[in-house]
Structure 1
Amino acid sequence: MKVLIIGLGSIAQKHIQALTNISSGEISLYALRSSALPNQVPNITNISSIGEAGVSFDFVIVSNPTFSHYDTLRKLLDYNIPLFIEKPLFHTLDGGQQLVDQIISSKVKTYIACNLRFHPCIVFIKDLLRQKSQRINEVNIYAGSYLPDWRPGIDYRQVYSANEKMGGGVHLDLIHELDYVTWLWGTPNSSAATLRSTSSLNIDAVDYANYLLQYEQFTVNIVLNYYRRDTKRTCEILFEDNTVSIDLIKQKVWCNEELIFSSDIDPLYTYKEQMKYFISAIKEDNGYIMNDIQSAFNVLKICLNDEQVKR
C-alpha cells in the first residue's frame, strides 16, 4: 500500500500510527514537502511533487493546516486519488461548494476524518436509537477544555487553534460534536449559533460556541469552549420516559442512574477504527463512504452559522 501524506503535524502522526498498526502488508509512506531541506521523518520518503515518487498512490492523507485545505484539494483534483481529509474540511465557506461539486463530479472517493463516530459510546448510542421508540424531547451536548493545556510547553496564543486566520477556533476544532449529531439524527430543520471570543484567554479565534439545532420534535443544544479547566465532554438525551447520559471521557453511558454501557479504549482506538473503515470503503465498488465531502461541507455550513444547507 502506498500512501501520500500532506502535512506532518501531530494529527498526521496519529493517522500514520493508526495506519501502520492496522496494516498487515507492506506500507510505503511518502510526504509532500514544500521546504527545500525538510526534516527527515523515519520511514517516510520526502517528495516535492506527486510525480517525483514514480508510483501510484492508494490514497492521500490531507492533514496540513485547515486554511491550506482548499488549495491542497484543488491541486489534487486532477490526480483522481482517494482523499482522507482531516477535519474540518475548510475554515471558510468561500468557494467551497464549487470545489466540492468539482470533486464529486470527478468521482474521487472522499472521507473527512471525524473519529468520534468510532467512539464506542457514540456507536452504542446509535444502536440504542435504532431500538428505542420513545420520543426525544431534548438533547444537551457539552465539550469544554483548557486550550493552554493542549500543547504543554508551547505558547497557546501562537498555535493555529488560537488564531482565526489560521483556521482556528473551538467551533472548528470541536466540529466533532456537530458531526456526530448529524450522524445520529440527520440534518436539522434549522440552526442558530452564537460564536464569541471574549474570554480571559484573550485570543482572536472563537473560544465559545453555542449551537441550537431544531429538529421536528426536539432541540439539540451544543456548548463548546476553550477555557474549562476541568475537561468535560458529555451528551444528555432526554427521552419522554428517561434520561440517557454519555460521558465520552469516562467512556460510560447511564440510563437515569443505571450504568448501561462502558468501554476502556486506548487513545489510538478511534483512529485505527476510522482508518480501517476508510481503507475498506475505498476498496469496495458500491461508491458509498460516510461523511464524504458534501456531507462534511453541510456540517461546516452549520458550524459557520450559514443555514443554507444543501439538502
Structure 2
Amino acid sequence: MSNIQISVKQGSKELFEIFRGTSIGILDLRTADCISKTSDILPTLSKLEKLHLWGTYTGYCALQLPASLHCIILQTGECSPDWLCSLLINLSELDHHVECELWNFVVQSRGEDCGTDSNIHISDLRSKLVSCDMSNIEIIVDNGSKELFKIFRDTTIGILKLKTADCVSHSSDILPTLSKLEKLYLWGTFTGHFDLQLPASLDCVSLQTGECSSEWLCSLLLKLTELHHAVRCELCDFLLQSRAEHCGADLNMHVSDLRSVLLALGMPNIIIQVNNGSRELFEIIRDTSIGILDLRTADCVSHSSNILPTLK
C-alpha cells in the first residue's frame, strides 16, 4: 500500500483497525481526535514515511512513531511547549535522518499553561531535549514565533530551514546556541545589515528563494569569514536588489566600506556556489580572495567574466 496516501478527517478506532499492520506510505490526520484513535496502530505501520498532523495538542506527546518515519508535518493548529518538546524527543530516538516541518502551527505561550507544576514539567522536558542527540533532525519552519524557537535553544539540531524573513528574525536569539548546526537554509527578502550571530559549527548557508540588498550580502560574507573554517555560501534562486532600489549616496558609501573590509579580511575559507546570478551579484566578490567558485549555469559563467581574473 505504499502508493496509497490515507487522509482522515473524522475516524473511529474501528476505521483505524483496518490499517493495522499495513504498508501505508503517507497518513494525513486532520484532527487531534484522529491522532488519539490511531495511537494503537501507528507503530504497526512498518512502511509509513510521512505523517501529517492537524489540530490542537497539549500535554505529553505519547505517540509511538514507526521506525520507518522520515517526515512529520505539523500543518495547521497549535500545541503546548511540552507537547512539541516530547515530540522532538521521540523523533531523536528514530536514529536516522528525519524532517520535522512546522507550517501554520502555533506554540502556545507559557501563560496558557497550568501554573508552577506545568512550568517545572516543561523545564524537565527541555533539559532532556538538550541532552538528546538531535543531529538527525532537520527542522523546517514556515511560520514561527519567538516562543517556538525558544524550544530549540541549546539543542543539537543539524539542519535548520527558515522559510520567511520573519522566521529568521524570530530565531536570531537562539541561533548562536545551536552548537551542532551545520546547514542553515534561508528564504525571504533581506535588507540592511546581516545581524545574525552564526554558530561556529556552521559549514553551509544556503540562500534559496528571495532577494537581498548588497549591504546584507556583504555583511553575511563578512560573518562567514569569521568562522575560520571552510564554509559554503549557496545562492540558489536569490536576486540581488539593484543599487537604484537603495536610499542614495550614504548607503552606497556604506556598501563600499563593507567591501573594503571584505577585501582586507580575505575570503579563502568561503566556497561560493551560484545557481542564478547577475553581473551586480558578481561585482560584490570582485578582487576578493575566494578559493572556490562553483557556477551552476552558463549564464553565471558569462556574468562572472569581468570579475573572474580579479579573484587572485
Task: Give TM-score, length-normalised by structure 1.
Answer: 0.29
Task: Give TM-score, length-normalised by structure 2.
Answer: 0.29
Q: Identify which of structures 1 and 2 has the higher relative contact order when contacts are C-alpha pairs closer than 8 Å and 6+ apart.
A: 1
